[in-house]
Structure 1
Amino acid sequence: MKKLFLTMSILALCSTTFAQKVSPLWTDFVEAKQAGKTPILPDFSFAGYHFSEKPIPEVSGKKVFNVVDYGAKPNDAEYDDEAIQRAINAAEKSKEGGVVFFPSGKFLIAADTDSTKYIRISKSNIILKGSGSGSGGTEIYQDKMRINGRQIQFKPTDLSAKKLTTITKDADRESFWVEVADVSALKVGQDVVIRHKSEEFTKIYFAPLQLKPEWSRLFGDKGGMLINEIHTIEKIEGNRVKFKNPLHFDLRIVKSAAFELAAYNYIEECGVEDILFTSNWKTYGEDFVHHKNAIHDYAWEAVGMEYVKNSWVRNCEFRDWNEGLYIRSGYQVSVLNVNFKGKKGHASVHARTGYGVLIKNCNFNNAQHHGAGTGYSAVGTVITQCTLGSDQNIDIHSGQPFATLYDDIKGGVFYNLGGPEPGHPHHGKHLVLWNFQHQSAKDQHYNFWDLNKRRNYTIAQPILVGFQSDHKVSFENVGINQDQGKQVLPKSLFEAQLTLRLTGKNTAK
């Protein structure tokens, strides 16, 4: 009987496997890459630490700065902010940086409500490492509320973005070359930002979709969709520049404003790992209500990473937070194996105004109103192989991010997307939902370009492939909707694109 059951199970598994269909959009992507043409799908493989081309380094062999040696004491009633900062300052004075190490125990921070106070990392090669995020590991606990004050901030001191040159010709989406007016300030290996903002280009980009007058940030002499796409220069030939990573929009020269190349200043090789972050939001005497007030939205905020390159957060847990992890202007950043738990709060992890932030193997557990999200000019954000709670919102927070992938996701919904109406649309082109498993308590209908409802969904022609749901879900104003109700191959678009780029192998054959 057991053998019969096992045989039937294997046959059922094989039947399911063979029934899966290779997505036509995947076939288009492979063939277009081989022919040197523009695929329908963006190439999302340029995401994560060093574009996922090498693993995050182990910290063994790096100089260690133990916070206890600088005055921190775990498991007592004293606050450890100053001692932790002293350890970080010592690591920053070291030529190679180092590991700021937290032994097992609970470390207290935030003795008062002054939101201008925080722990600051402003140089490269600094890693905050604990002794594990589970039982017997390291806990960092924010006591007092500090509204709009992230308690640990990675951020360089110099945020200037000097203009280097202008782009002089159109360039197509998914291409690598641009032509510029002057290459004298450019060099191979340099990181630059394609920067542009104009109403004229915005209308070209969204055409033929209608733009609502209430989206006021798009209009006027200083209005428009903000382009802020970060690239690394791989080659210079005459006045032509080749990037390592592709453009994710059709660059079209307009008369009203130039497309500039500007400097990108950053710190790099920074990390956070093996730490449990907790806060006193758990004991606040009210349950979370979205946008009730600043306390509910922003009183306890954990970690910010701004203008960081080739950096990471991994093997951590954020428990009882209004906001867990905020990434701004991040470039090649990985968030791996991170759990969000505890009393419900506002935002879990949010990536904006960067390129290639990878959020992978994370669990959101309905611990925040918003699951993993993006907004405000972010490009190439990848959320893959993650779980959200039933009816937990994905966060597309206005400000026209574009080329975002939600890939092999279990759980989550799209209603009540964030951001103020003047900053709509929520998303530009090429939001891709690949093998997304929608979970909700009731049926849902999504109109992705609804100009009538204030808090609805303004996403420009999204691409849905292998969309599945536990209740009936219907759509309007979709760009492409293929194979609804069926899982397609490849199961993970990100992993398949990465393998194709690095090895040339098509894993979905």
Structure 2
Amino acid sequence: MKSTNHKIISTTKNRLQIALLTATLLSGFYTSQSQNLPAILTDAELKEEIYLPDYSYAGYHFSEEQIPVSTSGTVINVTDFGVVADDGLDDSQALLKAMKMANETEGKVVLQFPKGRIILSEILYISRSNICLRGAGSGEQGTTLYYPRPMRYLANPPELQELREYLVELDKRQREPENNLDLPFSQYAWSGGMIWVRVPGERVKSYLDKYDTKPKVLAQLLSGQRGRQLIEVQSASKLAVGDVVQIEWYNKDGKKGSLISSIYDDADLKVGSHHYNYPNHALVMQQVLITEIKGNQVTIKDPLLHDINPQWKPVMTEWKHLEEVGIEHFNIEFPMAPNIAHHVEDGYNAIYLTNMYNGWVQDIKIKNADSGILTEQSANVTIADIETSGDKTAHYAVSMGSVHNILVRNLSVRNIVTHPLSFNTHATKSVYQNCVVYQVPVLDQHSGANHQNLFDNIRVYATSLEDGSYPLFAGGGAGYWKPSHGAFTTFWNIDVQFGNGLDATKPVILNGMKDGPAARLVGIHANRPITIHYEPNAYISDENVNLWLVPSLFDYQLRERLKR
């Protein structure tokens, strides 16, 4: 059903919320005040009309389990293989020997790093499940991994062969005539990392038809409803409870395909050619855990992104991935290097997560990176307590591309980043929660059928423009993947702190997308009055209201789900 515009700005409601919060604090315990929660959570008729996805399934084990803290399994100390911190020498070869031992050890493994500064100049590939790379912390007395050279000076990774050919065949270049700039895109602009999680030999992203292979289909899907977890399949003979598989939806009906309409909530928008020129590539993908099978009725853990419509040829396919991989308690530093241009990065990329499920990255500080953490083809990963900093202008801080149910929590972006918080191509049901962007903030929607994602309880520090506006909701991405995002992207309790014009009385205009359909913007507020422009068919409520009672939609939905 098509969404409609709603604007709810109520001074009375705001005062009532503050009074109720004060009463709650004085009473010393939380009491339910459901009548004062945003209407989209409580009004039955509105909830029926304005679809709000349940984001609570994002994160490690659907955020139902804590990230492991024990050292169960075999602990392998890298110092036993010749890694010496603070000696000013490169430890790459010694670390690769330790990693080889870790790969040959059965069961759970912890690869333990000492405190101090460790110099490295090789990509560390994580290619097995049940392994944790653990440093001594991200503080001054912790572990620092220092990379003096970017990936541009390393051997070309075979995993990026297809991307390299694609960039050449399509003549992908950064052209800035005003800066006398015309340079080819780097293979590391959005891919690769010095710590790289991968399934060896597995294709991560499709770029060229000649590399296409048929997916291993496990079941043809017959029926199912968006937001529900029950699917009727033609045959469940190749499925088992506990399997983690991929649901794929295809658009084989050209520019006006009904799957495109579902992604964009029937909005009348110009749709880029990648939505219909590749009918044999899945347009929407969702990695799911099978929890129950009864005959041909299959139950999955998290709700369906879309209906199971036979017209969209939906199937369950094999998904190769790693599980229980962790990276934690490190500083990762690069030298300060010149900023050449956007998309022409040298490859000072810290972490690259691909084909990863039920894993985590936590307590990491990253300095002077081109990109901090990049993700592809992963699901149910928690990325927590991350800080990016430095004088170098970065491309991404933590980017989500081709992922499902990823939770990025407590990210502090202290450096200038082109896309500090970014949902990229095919990202779905993923969450940025409790994040802070200190410079030139953008809540980026990067095109590519990314939809049903959540910016949750975010604070940004901005400077309003001379015309009294700020492009908080700017978007990037190539024209062949437009619109900027699909339906039901949600912005919840976004706090904008302006450092200028505090004596002004005229509201700052927060310019949103003109091609971002059916967005949900609830509780966008600032230290100055604001007005939101967002099109088409946005649901906007509680404008200029700090959502004290429900600061985090993710936390609220998780509590409600776990009650059931």
In the TM superposition, 1:386-405 aligns within 5 A as 386-405=435-454
Partner of 1:380: 429
Residues 217 and 355 of structure 1: CA distance in aligned 2, closer, same or farther (over 3 Å): same
Partner of 1:232: 289
1:448 to 482, 505, 513: 513
Is 1:22–2:72 an aligned residue pair? no
1:426 to 473, 476, 484: 484
Instruction: Report the 3-state secondary structure (helix = DSSP H, G, I; strand = E; otherwise coil) of the residue aligned with 1:484.
Output: coil
Partner of 1:486: 545
Per-residue Cα deviation, 1:49-83 (whole angstroms, up to 9, x for no partner): 11111111113233211111112221223222222
CA contact (8 A) 2:227 2:306 kept: yes
Greater alpha carbon shift after TM alignment, 362-371 vs 375-384: 362-371
Is 1:155–2:155 an aligned residue pair? no
Is 1:217–2:274 an aligned residue pair? yes
TM-superposed deviation, 1:380? 1.1
C-alpha distance in structure 2 between counterparts of 1:237 and 1:216, whole Å? 40
CA contact (8 A) 1:317 1:339 kept: yes
In the TM superposition, 1:75-474 aligns within 5 A as 75-110=86-121, 118-147=123-152, 148=188, 149-157=192-200, 159=202, 161-169=215-223, 171-198=224-251, 199=254, 200-205=257-262, 206=264, 208-212=266-270, 215-220=272-277, 222=279, 226-254=283-311, 258-280=313-335, 282=336, 284=337, 286=338, 288=339, 291=342, 294-295=344-345, 298-343=346-391, 344-411=393-460, 414-439=472-497, 443-449=508-514, 458-471=515-528, 472-474=530-532
C-alpha distance in structure 2 between counterparts of 1:494 and 1:29, whole Å? 20
In the TM superposition, 1:17-96 aligns within 5 A as 21-28=36-43, 40-96=51-107
C-alpha distance in structure 2 between counterparts of 1:475 and 1:225, whole Å? 32
C-alpha distance in structure 1 between counterparts of 2:555 and 2:424, whole Å? 23
Q: If the length of structure 2 is used for normalisation, what is the TM-score?
A: 0.77
C-alpha distance in structure 2 between counterparts of 1:372 and 1:124, whole Å? 28
Q: State the AA in 1 paired with 2:421.
A: A
TM-superposed deviation, 1:503? 2.5
CA contact (8 A) 1:29 1:40 kept: no
C-alpha distance in structure 2 between counterparts of 1:336 and 1:77, whole Å? 30
TM-superposed deviation, 1:40? 2.3
C-alpha distance in structure 2 between counterparts of 1:38 and 1:461, whole Å? 12
Could you list the runs of 4 or more consecutive aligned residues of structure 1 that deviate by over 6 angstroms after TM superposition? 10-13, 15-20, 29-32
CA contact (8 A) 2:221 2:316 kept: yes
Q: State the AA in 2 paired with 1:138.
A: T
C-alpha distance in structure 1 between counterparts of 2:412 and 2:114, whole Å? 25
Instruction: Report the 3-state secondary structure (helix = DSSP H, G, I; strand = E; otherwise coil) of the residue aligned with 2:459.
Output: coil
TM-superposed deviation, 1:140? 0.4
TM-superposed deviation, 1:387? 0.9
Residues 447 and 190 of structure 1: CA distance in aligned 2, closer, same or farther (over 3 Å): same
C-alpha distance in structure 1 between counterparts of 2:439 and 2:388, whole Å? 15
Partner of 2:163: none
C-alpha distance in structure 2 between counterparts of 1:499 and 1:426, whole Å? 31
The answer to which structure, 1 or 2, has the higher relative contact order (CA under 8 A, 6+ apart) is 2
Instruction: Report the 3-state secondary structure (helix = DSSP H, G, I; strand = E; otherwise coil) of the residue aligned with 1:495.
Output: helix
Instruction: Report the 3-state secondary structure (helix = DSSP H, G, I; strand = E; otherwise coil) of the residue aligned with 1:350.
Output: strand
Per-residue Cα deviation, 1:242-263 (whole angstroms, up to 9, x for no partner): 1011112334332xx5111101
C-alpha distance in structure 1 between counterparts of 2:35 and 2:439, whole Å? 25
TM-superposed deviation, 1:326? 1.0
C-alpha distance in structure 2 between counterparts of 1:16 and 1:376, whole Å? 42
CA RMSD in angstroms, aligned pairs only? 2.7
Instruction: Report the 3-state secondary structure (helix = DSSP H, G, I; strand = E; otherwise coil) of the residue aligned with 1:164.
Output: strand
Partner of 1:455: none
C-alpha distance in structure 2 between counterparts of 1:313 and 1:348, whole Å? 14
Partner of 1:4: none
Tell me the matched-pair count.
Answer: 466
Instruction: Report the 3-state secondary structure (helix = DSSP H, G, I; strand = E; otherwise coil) of the residue aligned with 1:338.
Output: strand
Instruction: Report the 3-state secondary structure (helix = DSSP H, G, I; strand = E; otherwise coil) of the residue aligned with 2:101.
Output: helix
Instruction: Report the 3-state secondary structure (helix = DSSP H, G, I; strand = E; otherwise coil) of the residue aligned with 2:258.
Output: helix
Residues 133 and 203 of structure 1: CA distance in aligned 2, closer, same or farther (over 3 Å): closer
Per-residue Cα deviation, 1:149-189 (whole angstroms, up to 9, x for no partner): 411101112537521122123x3221101122221111111
CA contact (8 A) 2:417 2:440 kept: no
CA contact (8 A) 2:433 2:552 kept: yes
TM-superposed deviation, 1:104? 0.9
TM-superposed deviation, 1:220? 3.3
C-alpha distance in structure 2 between counterparts of 1:350 and 1:120, whole Å? 19
Identity of aligned residues (%): 26
CA contact (8 A) 1:130 1:138 kept: yes
CA contact (8 A) 1:193 1:230 kept: yes
Instruction: Report the 3-state secondary structure (helix = DSSP H, G, I; strand = E; otherwise coil) of the residue aligned with 1:91.
Output: helix
CA contact (8 A) 1:104 1:138 kept: yes
Q: State the AA in 2 paired with 1:252.
A: N
Residues 13 and 50 of structure 1: CA distance in aligned 2, closer, same or farther (over 3 Å): closer
Instruction: Report the 3-state secondary structure (helix = DSSP H, G, I; strand = E; otherwise coil) of the residue aligned with 1:294.
Output: coil
C-alpha distance in structure 1 between counterparts of 2:246 and 2:497, whole Å? 38
Residues 410 and 274 of structure 1: CA distance in aligned 2, closer, same or farther (over 3 Å): same
Q: If the length of structure 1 is used for normalisation, what is the TM-score?
A: 0.85
Per-residue Cα deviation, 1:255-296 (whole angstroms, up to 9, x for no partner): xx511110111111111111000112x1x2x3x4761x513x
Greater alpha carbon shift after TM alignment, 154-163 vs 52-61: 154-163
